[in-house]
Amino acid sequence: MRILTDGQLAEILNQDIFHLIGDTADEMGIECYVVGGYVRDLFLERPSSDIDVVVVGSGIEVAKGLKKKMGKKAHLSVFRNFGTAQVKYKDLEVEFVGARKESYSHDSRKPHVEDGTLEDDQNRRDFTINALAACLNKERFGQLVDPFDGVADMQDGIIRTPLDPDITFSDDPLRMLRAIRFAAQLNFFIEEETFDAIKRNAERIKIVSGERIKDELNKIIMTRRPSKGFYELYRADLLDIILPELTALDKVETRNGRAHKNNFYHTLEVLDNIAQAQEEGKDKDYTASIPDYRLYLRWAALLHDIGKTKCKAWNDAQGWTFHNHNFIGAKMVSKIFRRLMLPLDQKMKFVEKLVNLHMRPIAIADDVVTDSAVRRLVNDAGDDIDLLMMLCEADITSKNSAKKARFLENFRIVREKIDDLKARDYKRLLQPCIDGNEIMQLFHLPPSREVGILKQCLKEAVLDNKVENEREPLMQLLMQKAEEMGLQTK
């Protein structure tokens, strides 16, 4: 981070928008400050376009005055129920609020709010690094107000609450997730007293909506090393409340001297592997069945082994087994998505598909890589085949270098066969050119089991490459199968 004097801060803030805000407040005789994350990110040299402004007075009136000065260049939105207003100007969004102090009841995150001073407003902030304020009034333009040594905490890489952390987290339990999210995003550490207070207040997270929890989890999962955030959630006893299916994986059993790996830490390693691959741009040329696949590929990594707890079994010949954990895990995804208020649309289906299929490439790579197996895999994965392969490669976390090298080499062969199919237009190659409608017309059948059997016969033949996906050989096969079933054409 950089250390900024008030003069340097004034120089950075020397933009039309900040001078216009300051001039508007001066004309009204009101103190005015840019606060919170925007000021923090100036020190951390992080880009930010969301600006929060606190005025010691009416934030709505200052926003209206700014809009009047800017004319048609700006768009004003007023939210009277919350006492806030927003001015949009080009790619900037400026939120205005009056300085306030808050008090809470035990069973709600919704505070009782009353007008306050700048000091009151800074006291209510969640962390010292978010309690910074820079004055925008002309006489004190750029002057930093840092009552809790937030700049020093940024230098030390510390997340700390301004006031008593037990009160801070009990009042608004979402702040516990925010503490861990900021630690993960900034690669900071949570100060010991603050962290202990999170553990003491972990149960309070139950009053927070799934929607708000989901937003913080998504931000943690999209950090450069998401395992840090999820490990802190686990250490703070929050993860067991939010995602008990994941913490259930932190169990290792030994029988006859044979132990299975710790699937919780394996999962975090797979998640980090996906994050690193995305950071390196390995997925930049991949197609996907959903537009924002980067987030949901990480969710698939996080949930890919959750079925193992229910499927674990001991076999004297094989040792520990987790048969069908992919199928069971895929069935568990919808319950988790509903609880966390994650989307129940194609994004959930995408995660379910990847969890269900993540063992298929490994099974192929562990044996002779046949054309038939690859064609079936491509057919089932569709547009997400490259992302599935990316997940499977991330899933190889074995410390046995020879075993890891063998799997990765076989994955390379699988990818070559996939690329060959793509080059030859795999969608056309894998879908029989005789469809169900034609079968119904040909044999005068309604939609029925018989039509399904005939369609499956053609599909199996194409996937196994037993016949070319051309009309004449497929029609010949269709007639043979129909005759076996006692069906006749019109």
State the SS3 of 463-486.
HCCCCCCCHHHHHHHHHHHHHHCC
pLDDT tens per residue across span 433-468? 677 787 888 778 888 888 888 878 777 777 777 777
Confidence tier at 490 by pLDDT (50, 70, 90): low
Domain final residue, candidates 408, 426, 444: 426
Domain housing 345: 279-426
Q: What is the CATH number of the domain that holds 88?
A: 3.30.460.10
Instruction: Specify the pairing of strand 92-98 against strand 50-55.
Output: parallel
| pLDDT for the residue 34 | 95
* Residue 105 in this model has a pLDDT that exceeds 60: no
The answer to whether residue 138 is domain-embedded is yes
pTM of the model: 0.84
**Side-chain-facing half-sphere of 196: CA atoms under 13 Å:** 4
User: How many C-beta atoms surround the C-beta of residue 344 within 10 A?
Assistant: 11
Instruction: Specify the pairing of strand 74-79 against strand 84-89.
Output: antiparallel
The answer to whether residue 41 is domain-embedded is yes
What is the secondary structure of 236-289 as a DSSP string? TT-HHHH-HHHHTT----EETTEE---HHHHHHHHHHHHHHHHHTTTTTT---S
The answer to whether residue 250 is domain-embedded is no
Phi, psi for residue 179 in degrees, rounded to 5:
-60, -45
Confidence tier at 334 by pLDDT (50, 70, 90): very high
DSSP state of 432: -
Q: What is the CATH number of the domain that holds 226?
A: 1.10.110.30
Question: Is residue 363 located within the same domain as residue 417?
Answer: yes
The answer to whether residue 249 is domain-embedded is no
- Tokens of residue 27, six digits: 């004309």
Return d(Cα 205, Cα 197) in angstroms, integer.
13
| pLDDT for the residue 233 | 98
Cβ atoms of 87 and 94 within 8 Å: the answer is yes
The CA–CA distances, whole Å, from 342 to 122, 296, 396 equal: 33, 10, 28
Cβ atoms of 250 and 237 within 8 Å: the answer is no
Question: Is residue 397 located within the same domain as residue 367?
Answer: yes
pLDDT cut 90: percent of the chain above it: 58
DSSP state of 316: T
CB contact set of 71 (below 8 Å; sequence gap of 6+): none
Interaxial angle between packed helices 325-339 and 346-357, expressed in degrees from 0 to 180 and rounded to the nearest 10: 160
Average pLDDT, the chain: 88
Mean pLDDT, rounded, for 303-321:
87
More confident residue, 488 or 61: 61
Nearest to 54 by CA among 151, 124, 148: 124
Return d(Cα 354, Cα 287) in angstroms, integer.
14
- Tokens of residue 311, six digits: 């499927």
Question: Is residue 112 located within the same domain as residue 187?
Answer: no
Question: Is residue 171 located within the same domain as residue 222?
Answer: yes
Q: What's the total number of domains in the chain?
A: 4
| pLDDT for the residue 370 | 75
Question: Is residue 141 located within the same domain as residue 36?
Answer: yes
Return d(Cα 297, Cα 290) in angstroms, integer.
10
Question: Is residue 285 located within the same domain as residue 205?
Answer: no
pLDDT tens per residue across span 1-19? 888 889 999 999 999 999 9
Question: Is residue 320 located within the same domain as residue 346?
Answer: yes
* Residue 424 in this model has a pLDDT that exceeds 70: no
Question: Is residue 121 located within the same domain as residue 32?
Answer: yes
Residue burial 425-452, b: 16+ Cβ < 10 Å; e: rest: ebeebbebebeeeebbebbebeeeebbe
3-state secondary structure string across 86-153: EEEECCEEEEEEECEEEECCCCCCCCEEEECCHHHHHHCCCCHHHCCEEECCHHHCCCEECCCCHHHH
| pLDDT for the residue 159 | 98
